[in-house]
Chains A and B, each alone.
Chain A
């Protein structure tokens, strides 16, 4: 157990609570940078995948976890980011260093454009509206064939940054570092958001719109900002996803991806940046883990590897059901409890994290 004596307000404003905590994150960063030397090429690709999903997850987390606005349509903004990044490169010949931030900007503006008409919607109604948008965007991509290649999709070109060519298969390490750098930058901005007035305004809108309004928070504008930031980050993830996949179509960003993204951050831990990363790890590694388990079971039973379609989603579904029922705070919530247990040993009490049971808040009254 550590006791921290705060002697200035800055202790609460700083990014890390204390030097001890900062040390762990610096160690993690060093390990992340060194990963290509520590892991094989295949694993580097997998970790890159995790980072891209985490980036997308952070985008969605700002909206769902921080601002409390459920979106079942974020795949649409992955698509906007991905397509605009590639189209700007191919059609206008702009370099990646410009198209990448532009793709985020375009996705962000698209998000704001969605936020304006939907500002009065809450909870499930907003989720349904975004779901509808996601489905429509999927169809629109097919319809806008001259631009998007229709059902046959588009190829992502190699990334060129100041003469340095990055292809995800030829130089997986370079692509990994590029992704890592973007993730770290977004992480930094996200942390800043959480300790500044806008982050608090987001939380205010999440927990009580009516009193946020009474405190002088412009709810509609705050929601629009949350949408914009969220979809911009998701758009950046989409742009990276395009380069990572090499080829993509409307199917790459279908409605199931939207749903999967939301499920991902719920399993990870809603409202925590860590949650986006934990969720991304689950999403990215679950198929691998299942493949290994399948091989293992196959060998044990002597039946060889059996392919069970839909197993991934089902296992993911079961994990999710168990988390929502028994650990609504997600993996990160569980981690917090375990950590507190060891930090306070032997003084941990079971009800330390218990929240007051809230009564059913009827959504018919808004």
Chain B
């Protein structure tokens, strides 16, 4: 059984078919990339998995369980974390607070015990903090722990958002363009982190990315989309040399096609 199973999913906005009968499955422990030109429906697929949209048709299974039964705030509890294309952090909070929100799914206290801040809540906070510190160590965010997001540079925000998703201790991590807008050095860091997330943390990664270097460096399998339809699935090399992909997406790009 695959970890994530997307079956014949279709989504329409008005008359436009954003996702057209897409099926794919992500196996546990792999890095799976979605590539395709703008408007191919990659982010829309993420939003479908996050349950921000309801598909017109099809089924999405996670660990064999249908996601469509769950409202979007349950998705995190099932162990799926995500980042956003345009960074959606909690701007008026510190990095630490942002990461701690990622721990929300482990909350066992309730409003009453929290208002009284019982020893149980205190212990829970210590545990949350310890878990978050692991993420801070992993992503080297020490210098920014108590900084407000609103004052941080773009590259750091990108990392913080990844950290927030990791603080959730997900089984499946959805990364929406993790390297967009980053410098070459920063992109290389991201590549290392994705490797480590897969190998050390044992987290399965599903990502949308335009940077083909990053995609071929880290992904085990790649799915190419165009106009909401699946073109092909395979290893990065297979996909890059697939004629339909070259035509739809890479065809004009000499460097990658070569």
Contact = CB atoms under 8 A, between A and B. Distances in A.
B235 interface: no
B109 A196 contact: yes
B122 A13 contact: yes
Contact of A206 (B82, B92, B107): B92
A10 B102 CA distance: 19
A198 B104 CA distance: 9
B212 interface: no
A214 B75 contact: yes
Nearest to B174: A214
A187 to B, nearest CB: 12
Contacts of B74: 216
Interface residues on B, range: 35 or more
A196 B72 contact: no
Contacts of A201: 101, 104
B52 interface: yes
Interface in B78-127: 81-82, 84, 88-93, 96-97, 100-105, 107, 109, 111, 114-117, 121-122, 124-126
A169 B78 CA distance: 59
A210 B117 CA distance: 28
Contacts of A355: 150-151
Given A207-B92, A215-B168, A200 B75 contact: no
A197 B109 contact: yes
A192 interface: yes
A73 to B, nearest CB: 23
Contact of B101 (A192, A210, A212): A212
Contact of A197 (B90, B103, B150, B168): B103
A44 B73 CA distance: 49
Contacts of B111: 198, 225, 229
A290 to B, nearest CB: 34
A214 B82 contact: yes
A215 B101 contact: yes
Contact of B90 (A192, A204, A358): A204
Contact of B89 (A207, A217, A358): A207
Nearest to A219: B73
Given A203-B90, A207-B89, A215-B168, A192 B116 contact: yes
Interface residues on A, range: 35 or more
B50 interface: yes
A189 interface: yes
B97 A356 contact: no
A355 B71 CA distance: 35
B114 A192 contact: yes
Contacts of A9: 125-126, 129-130, 133
Nearest to A206: B92
Contacts of B75: 214, 216
B120 to A, nearest CB: 11
Nearest to B125: A13
Interface string A214-249: 111111000001000100000000000000000000
A208 interface: yes
B150 A200 contact: no
Name, among A189, A193, A208, the residue most crowded by chain B CB atoms within 10 Å (CB to CB): A208
B53 to A, nearest CB: 12
Interface string A298-326: 00000000000000000000000000000
A145 interface: no
B77 interface: yes
Contacts of B72: 213-214
Contacts of B128: 197
14 contacts: A13-B126, A13-B129, A189-B116, A196-B121, A200-B93, A200-B97, A200-B101, A203-B97, A204-B104, A206-B90, A211-B90, A214-B50, A215-B168, A216-B105
Given A197-B114, A215-B76, 8 more contacts: A192-B115, A197-B107, A200-B97, A203-B101, A207-B93, A213-B50, A214-B81, A218-B71
